[in-house]
Amino acid sequence: MRPMLTLAEAETLLGNHLGASSRATHSRFVAYLMRRLAEAVGTNTIVWQLTGLCHDLDIDAVADDWSQHGPLAAQWLDGRLPADALDAIRAHDHRAGVPADTPIARALKLADALAVIATELGTAPTAAILAADAGAELTRRFPARPWLSPLVTENAAAIGLPLDALAPMLTGTPPAS
């Protein structure tokens, strides 16, 4: 096995695969949230941050074959991240058909959904919704994407975090794009 991927190497991979795209910005935000989630549950912050940073590396390479989104990135990273991190990357998009039952996989689905919501609504409004513990409000705000609210509520519960514990994670300063 090669040495574990470093954050600097992950940033280089992100630049090589996603450039300065909005998807790269999204991946950095997911990585920031993953680090905050890892801190909250008391686990390896670097591994969780790397998982968030690398989860969408393959988005342009899958050529709309969404069953490969996640599995391809995990294949590229094989031997550079722990097995549970690779499994989380494989499982983060439901279209790949890979189950996400470990804490890191649940956290990645949660962080990915939170990043989508916060990008659309803004971090402060999203934090306010979470602080009010209002999963129903997320459903109301995203009627065309009814899966977003359950991704947040179910995965937060699965890793032992109430919705109001997520709010402060959104009000910090995510990395610049």
Q: Average the pLDDT over 73-91 and give the result.
A: 93
Mean pLDDT, residues 77-90: 94
Per-residue model confidence (pLDDT) at position 102? 96
- Inter-helix orientation angle 45-54/103-121, to 10°: 60
Task: Kindly report the number of other CB atoms within 10 A of residue 98's CB atom.
Answer: 18
Work out the pLDDT band at 111, boundaries 50, 70, 90.
very high
Provide mean pLDDT across the span 44-62: 93
pLDDT band at 41 (very low <50, low <70, confident <90, very high): very high
Would you say residue 85 has pLDDT above 60?
yes
Decide if pLDDT at 148 tops 70.
yes
Task: Measure the CA–CA gap between 25 and 133, rounded to whole angstroms.
Answer: 27
Dist CA 170 CA 62 (whole Å): 30
Residue 177 confidence (pLDDT) above 60: no
Tell whether the model's pLDDT for residue 54 goes beyond 60.
yes
Please report, for residues 32, 59, 99, 149, the alpha-carbon distance to residue 156 in angstroms, rounded to integers and kept in the order given.
16, 25, 16, 11
Q: Which two tokens stand for residue 11?
A: 């940033």
How much is the pLDDT for 69? 79
The pair of structure tokens assigned to 100 is 């996400």
Task: Please classify residue 21 by burial: count the beta carbons closer than 10 Å to its beta carbon, then call 0-12 exposed, 13-18 middle and 19+ buried.
Answer: middle
* CB half-sphere exposure, 171, CA atoms < 13 A: 12
In a 3-state reduction of DSSP, which class is residue 127?
A: helix
Residues in the chain: 177
Category of 97 on φ-ψ map: left (φ > 0), alpha (ψ -120 to 50) or beta: left
How many angstroms separate the CA atoms of 130 and 92, rounded?
Answer: 21
Q: Give the whole-angstrom CA distance, residue 154 versus residue 147.
A: 11
Find the mean pLDDT for residues 151-177.
84
For residue 155, how many other CB atoms are within 10 A of its CB? 23
Does position 174 have pLDDT exceeding 70, yes or no?
no
Domains and CATH numbers, the chain: 7-170 (1.10.3210)
Output Rg (C-alpha) for the chain, integer angstroms. Answer: 15
CB 36 within 8 A of CB 49: no
Specify the range with the lowest mean pLDDT, choosing from 39-43, 48-52, 87-91, 127-131: 127-131
